[in-house]
Structure 1
Amino acid sequence: LANCGDTTGAVLGIVVTSSASPLLYQWQDALGNPLGSGTANLINVGPGTYSLVVTDSNGCSSTAGPFTINSTVGVVASFTADPVTGETPLPVTFTNTSIGAANYLWQFGTGDTSSVISPVYTYVPLGQFTACLIASTTSGCSDTACTTIDIFINSVFVIPNVFTPNDDNVNDIFTVQAVGLKTMDAEIFNRWGQKEYEWHTTNDGWDGRTASGVPAPDGTYYFMIKATGIDGKEYFEKGSFTLIRSK
């Protein structure tokens, strides 16, 4: 036997039984040259063909073999990825730089795979993904290399300066126009500093009604908004906007 990438191998597991002990073990190569093992196991020898001559105490000999140790080719998996971080959707070029391999299996960390030597893969979901290359030989030796791909989205945060809650289904809700926000806490106040409404999600807003459910009158209102983007950017905004109810 020989392990992947090894330059030496071994012959192991030979069992010899005899009533005429002790037994003498002599290994020899394909040319009959003796090897100095002295046991039933042959270790740390190069590729080639070997035989074992066993001699008992009566001088009787028997030969086992030949045994063949094949050479094996090592494999090293390696690659580059460009880019390794960016905004979705992000095409990533994987360049295969493996050594000694004949077959390739790419695992992109999303459940998708490829057997192309050097693929281009587009990441759409947000998050961190472990991309791996399994490089293997025809004899079954393999090696694995991995890297991390980080996909994000740049947050966008826009606050309107007017809204018209007149039930015409156009601009009826005061809401933050946002992309890529992870958290949001918003409060709406009237001109006397009384809180009219608050919300704590990224997809809520104010429909123009007071805390008691009564339509708020036309006029100027004030907001305080805190938010955090998926990209880690933090926002704190305060200001005013106009409520116009008349059609």
Structure 2
Amino acid sequence: MKKITLLLFILVVSLRLAAQSAEEKLEAHIDYEVERRDAANETITEEEMKNKIFSAPATFSFYGSGGSEAVYYTWFLYKKGDLENPIARYPDKDITRYTFEEFGEYVIKLEVADNDSNTSEDTFSFTISESKLEVPNYFSPGDSPGVNDEFRVAYRSIVKFKCTIFNRWGQKLFEFTDPAKGWDGTYKGKYVNTGVYYYVIDALGSDGIRYKRGGDINILRSR
């Protein structure tokens, strides 16, 4: 009886050690990089990004590792709150350049497996922020370089954008489609005169909000 008990004990210990060894050789881990518009007028803060809150469109690359025994890699992309229905699934070691444009919380899961069907998983969560758009009503091109010398909106999570600038007679002077850019107050290479100009903006936020804005731009100069 003692021999049987001892053999069972040795078997249990052996199985535990084997399982522990397999776990050490099979461990899923996610690394990531995110591309964002490096714009001073994008209102996402460094603190928010540390807390994994990003402005759309945010393009991620996810890199998987799984230990020495990992053979199969599968990625699952979920909207938080619906972990039964992935919005995407990839049977690759890495995901390069996946762009998120819709507001919400997301969960990325990496599952790795070996040839004996042992598995390990890792998850990564982040948030795409709601949208925001604010439009200034004056600027001073050519007056103090680097200080309020361009017409730029303040924004976050704007996924589509178009702004057109007109003079008082309805002549189009400038148009741009990147909210990180702006108008420098020139037309055909020369600064326009001081006075009132007009903008028309049509934009779409990550949360589905449509921004249709129009109004005055006052160009001011001290000299």
Greater gyration radius: 1
Higher relative contact order (CA 8 A, sep 6+): 2
TM-score (norm 1): 0.44
More helix by share: 2
TM-score (norm 2): 0.48
